[in-house]
Amino acid sequence: MKELPTYQSLVNSFSKLPGIGVKSAERMAYAVLQMKEEDALSFATAIQKAKSDIHKCPVCGLYEEGGSCEVCDDETREKNTLVVVSFSKDALAFEKCGYRGQYHVLGGSLSPTKGIGSDQLDIDKLLSRVENGGFEEVILATNPTLEGETTALYIAKLLEKFPVNVTRLAYGLPMGASLDYADSLTLGKALEGRKKI
């Protein structure tokens, strides 16, 4: 089995996925061999279709299928709030918590170590959207990491010239967390942002 070229190339493909080592890739490739013909076929088709049918919305950068963005083209959504995220998948989390405004996907965060500068992110498009778009508030929802923070501060600076409220998500304890396990940075932020009850 080790010398089957097709099996090896399948293992190789699986091991390119995030968090998948050779051992897991082998287990998955083996599972494909044991799959029903139709399941394997629909798996292969889904991968091909994902690449051919799913594209980034030219306006907001979210992934869309069939040429219509489910956010930009939805007339029932609020038009005055814009959440700025690093990746398309981050928007999913906002959808789950009930957010019904607009999005802008940057395509990453500023990172000198990974060689990602401002020109690699969709910042120009964001600026022209804000300039033209009638937004009242821009919520900078990059990750609470060094890179995400830097990106948010950089963009906040660029947005200063527009008459729009620029906000950042609140920091604090995650719901359901235990104080014992909270890191001191998070706890510090939670203390700093404490509210009267």
Chain contacts with its own copies (rule: CB under 8 A) = 1-7, 9-10, 12-14, 16-20, 24, 26-33, 35, 37, 39-51, 53-54, 62-65, 70, 88-89, 91-92, 95
Least distance between its own copies and beta carbon 42 (Å): 6
Nearer to its own copies, 58 or 188 (CB): 58
How many CB atoms sit inside 10 A of residue 141's CB? 23
How many CB atoms sit inside 10 A of residue 14's CB? 19
Distances (CA, A) of 172 to 78, 96, 148, 150, 192: 27, 20, 16, 19, 9
Least distance between its own copies and beta carbon 4 (Å): 4
Nearer to its own copies, 2 or 194 (CB): 2
SS3 letters for 1-67?
CCCCHHHHHHHHHHCCCCCCCHHHHHHHHHHHHHCCHHHHHHHHHHHHHHHHHEEECCCCCCEEECC
Nearer to its own copies, 116 or 187 (CB): 116
Least distance between its own copies and beta carbon 143 (Å): 15
Least distance between its own copies and beta carbon 139 (Å): 18
Nearer to its own copies, 15 or 186 (CB): 15
